[in-house]
């Protein structure tokens, strides 16, 4: 048996890093167990000539395709939206694009304002100081004054507009629609020892420059300097409990497949909305027959993605192509509810730039724009560096039928039951996607696009994982309380996207991390009475 620790955190991704760093000042013995490895930025794909190919292989965003030793399989056959993640120090932030929007005040009051889903037990004002603290740690580029948001000040200038951004902005201006430079967790100038973005165009397979704020280069070095211990290649199978129904530690496998028991006073789950639900369900015992912390029956339920639409146009003029970063501008013209549109809640457009030479060809062939034979070269030149467009990120409403369960057959390399996803697109989402495709087509035409293409939902776009252990005041309707502590198990906390009550229509990570800091702050304030 290992020496007991005060706090054991499972997973070393976005939320874990924030909670570990914040708790470090207590000088408690904090240990984080992560199934993956530390990343080596000098070996990221953009450092070599096979940069685009690796994104389709060992840096693929699907764990099933990537299939590293450090990944676990996910059965997502019963979902029109497939799972994307990364397992390693930094978690999903290793691959994320670094789009870094905040939630809006209305996102926490969905039931009150729009009569659907549920309100959060906390509000925007409560999270505001933690958003600000997280922004300092991650570093945010952007521009103050966005009329779609309450005032906040990004600390770095916006990422360049570029040819693509300017073209799209002109289209949006013709229509009189909102747009603004996106808040991005990408350094536009040197920031806290990180070098500024040099437009590698390859943010979503790891940033070799270190300009993108993945938590392995932001929070983790600071947390480790402050005394947090991070053990990699440790895959947790289950959380154990004692005779009082409190968490007593975890059972995990090391890189050699050897089983260990690690005792702990407090256990914090930070494995994302799929990994966390999986561990809770795998921790069933005589006392907790339906899985740990699951008296509500809601562990694994209410899984939310953001159904995405992708809409692109091909232009006569040469655009940015392979030159990045991908992030550029966003529009929240259709964010707040307007029932005349035929759906409730709304979506954000995030505008992208272009594609590298390989992806331009692969995608061109997939969508029938690039023929075989002698016409290939001429057609390719009409596509390459002539494409830009956007995605629409639609708010997904919680639905108990959308869920993570344990697959009866599929297991990871340690023999731990793998998660199984069951998900259906709601009618509200379908209408929102249709609306987004129609409006995006107007933008692209106004910007001068000749040829349009779209897909909705993006089939492999399950990169935002939320809702499977929701927070709330009522133990019958939620898994954790309003500061992240398990209703059923009082020394168990959850800090990742599982605890989201609703999904908003923006990328989640800035809010996931702000919540993790807020929960850490509550733990620190309540240390003397933490388990009462």
Ligand X SMILES: Cc1cc2nc3c(=O)[nH]c(=O)nc-3n(C[C@H](O)[C@H](O)[C@H](O)COP(=O)(O)OP(=O)(O)OC[C@H]3O[C@@H](n4cnc5c(N)ncnc54)[C@H](O)[C@@H]3O)c2cc1C
Closest CA relative to residue 288, chosen from 470, 492, 5: 492
The entry of other proteins, ligand X, none that residue 208 binds, CB within 5 to 8 Å by partner kind: other proteins
The entry of other proteins, ligand X, none that residue 333 binds, CB within 5 to 8 Å by partner kind: other proteins
Closest contact distance (angstroms) between CB of 406 and ligand X is: 13
For 152-181, letters b (16+ CB in 10 Å) and e give bebbbebbbbbbbbebbbebbeebebbbbb
The span from the CA of 65 to the CA of 88, in Å, is 16
* Closer Cβ to other proteins, 53 or 473, answer by number: 53
The entry of other proteins, ligand X, none that residue 96 binds, CB within 5 to 8 Å by partner kind: ligand X
Residues 205-234 interacting with other proteins (rule: CB under 8 A): 208-209
The pair of three-digit structure tokens given for residue 380, joined into one six-digit string = 């390719």
**CB under 6 A: which stretch of 21-29, 40-48, 78-86, 305-313 binds ligand X?**
78-86
Torsion of CA 271, 272, 273, 279, to 10 degrees: -10
**CB under 8 A: which stretch of 51-59, 220-228, 439-447, 505-513 binds other proteins?**
51-59
- In contact, 221 and 21? CB cutoff 8 Å: no
- In contact, 187 and 194? CB cutoff 8 Å: yes
The span from the CA of 497 to the CA of 273, in Å, is 6
Does residue 191 interact with other proteins by CB under 8 A? no
Q: Which of 21, 96, 149, 191 binds other proteins (CB under 8 A)?
A: 149
> What residues contact 101, with CB distance under 8 A and at least 6 apart?
182, 183, 330, 348, 506, 507, 510
* Closer Cβ to ligand X, 464 or 485, answer by number: 464
The entry of ligand X, other proteins, none that residue 497 binds, CB within 5 to 8 Å by partner kind: ligand X
The site map against ligand X for 452-481 (x = CB under 6 A) is -----------xx-----------------
Does residue 121 interact with ligand X by CB under 6 A? no
Instruction: Detail the DSSP E strand segments found in 339-414.
Output: 347-351, 387-394, 403-411
Does residue 487 interact with other proteins by CB under 8 A? no
- In contact, 284 and 299? CB cutoff 8 Å: no
Closest contact distance (angstroms) between CB of 185 and ligand X is: 8
Q: In sequence order, what are the beta bridge partners of 303?
A: none
**CB under 8 A: which stretch of 78-86, 164-172, 305-313, 492-500 binds other proteins?**
164-172
Does residue 306 interact with other proteins by CB under 8 A? no
* Residue count, binding to ligand X (CB under 6 A): 41
The span from the CA of 130 to the CA of 100, in Å, is 14
Owner of token pair 């013709």: 174
Q: In sequence order, what are the beta bridge partners of 196?
A: none
**CB under 6 A: which stretch of 23-31, 265-273, 307-315, 402-410 binds ligand X?**
265-273
Residues 166-205 interacting with ligand X (rule: CB under 6 A): 204
Does residue 180 interact with other proteins by CB under 8 A? yes
Does residue 145 interact with other proteins by CB under 8 A? yes
The site map against ligand X for 25-44 (x = CB under 6 A) is --------xxxx--------
Q: Is the dihedral of CA 507, 481, 479, 336 positive or negative?
A: negative
The span from the CA of 242 to the CA of 509, in Å, is 33
Which residue is closest to ligand X by CB? 13
User: For binding to ligand X (CB under 6 A), which residues are involved?
Assistant: 10-16, 33-36, 61, 84-88, 91-93, 95-99, 204, 235-236, 270-272, 275, 279, 463-464, 496-497, 507-509, 512
């Amino acid at each position: 048996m290992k020496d007991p620790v005060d706090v054991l955190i499972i997973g070393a991704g976005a939320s874990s890093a924030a909670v570990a760093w914040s708790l470090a000042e207590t000088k408690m013995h904090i240990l984080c167990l992560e199934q993956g490895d530390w990343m080596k930025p000098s070996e990221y794909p953009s450092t070599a000539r096979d940069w685009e190919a690796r994104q389709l292989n060992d840096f693929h965003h699907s764990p099933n395709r990537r299939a590293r030793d450090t990944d676990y399989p996910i059965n997502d056959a019963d979902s029109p939206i497939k799972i994307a993640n990364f397992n390693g120090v930094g978690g999903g932030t290793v691959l994320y694009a670094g789009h870094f929007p905040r939630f809006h005040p209305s996102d926490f009051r969905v039931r009150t304002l729009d009569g659907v889903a549920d309100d959060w037990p906390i509000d925007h004002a409560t999270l505001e100081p933690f958003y600000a603290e997280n922004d300092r740690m991650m570093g945010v580029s952007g521009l103050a004054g966005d009329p779609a948001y309450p005032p906040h000040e990004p600390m770095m200038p916006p990422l360049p507009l570029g040819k693509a951004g300017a073209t799209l902005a002109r289209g949006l201006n013709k229509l009189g629609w909102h747009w603004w430079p996106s808040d991005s967790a990408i350094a536009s100038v040197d920031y806290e020892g990180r070098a500024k973005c040099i437009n590698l165009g390859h943010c979503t397979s790891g940033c070799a420059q270190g300009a993108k704020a993945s938590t392995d280069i932001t929070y983790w070095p600071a947390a480790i300097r402050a005394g947090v211990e991070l053990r990699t290649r440790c895959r947790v199978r289950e959380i154990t409990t004692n005779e009082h129904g409190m968490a007593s530690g975890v059972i995990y496998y090391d890189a050699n497949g050897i089983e260990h028991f690690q005792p702990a006073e407090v256990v914090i789950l930070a494995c994302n909305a799929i990994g966390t639900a999986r561990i809770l369900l795998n921790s069933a015992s005589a006392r907790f027959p339906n899985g740990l912390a699951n008296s509500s029956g809601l562990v694994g339920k209410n899984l939310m993605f953001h159904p995405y639409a992708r809409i692109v146009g091909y232009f006569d003029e040469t655009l940015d192509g392979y030159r990045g970063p991908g992030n550029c501008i966003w529009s929240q013209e259709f964010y707040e509810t307007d029932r005349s549109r035929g759906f409730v809640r709304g979506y954000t457009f995030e505008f992208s730039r272009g594609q590298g030479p390989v992806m331009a060809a692969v995608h061109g062939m997939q969508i029938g724009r690039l023929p075989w034979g002698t016409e290939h070269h001429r057609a390719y030149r009409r596509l390459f560096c002539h494409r830009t467009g956007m995605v629409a990120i639609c708010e997904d409403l919680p639905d108990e039928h959308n869920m993570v369960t344990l697959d009866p057959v599929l297991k990871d390399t340690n023999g731990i039951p793998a998660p199984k996803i069951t998900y259906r697109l709601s009618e509200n989402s379908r209408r929102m996607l249709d609306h987004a495709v129609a409006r995006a087509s107007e933008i692209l035409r106004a910007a001068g696009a000749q040829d349009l293409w779209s897909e909705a939902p993006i089939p492999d776009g399950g990169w935002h994982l939320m809702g499977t252990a929701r927070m709330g005041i009522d133990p019958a309707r939620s898994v954790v309380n309003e500061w992240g502590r398990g209703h059923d198990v009082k020394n168990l906390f959850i800090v990742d996207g599982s605890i989201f009550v609703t999904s908003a229509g923006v990328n989640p990570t800035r809010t996931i991390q702000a919540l993790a800091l807020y929960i850490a702050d509550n733990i620190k304030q309540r240390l003397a009475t933490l388990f009462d």
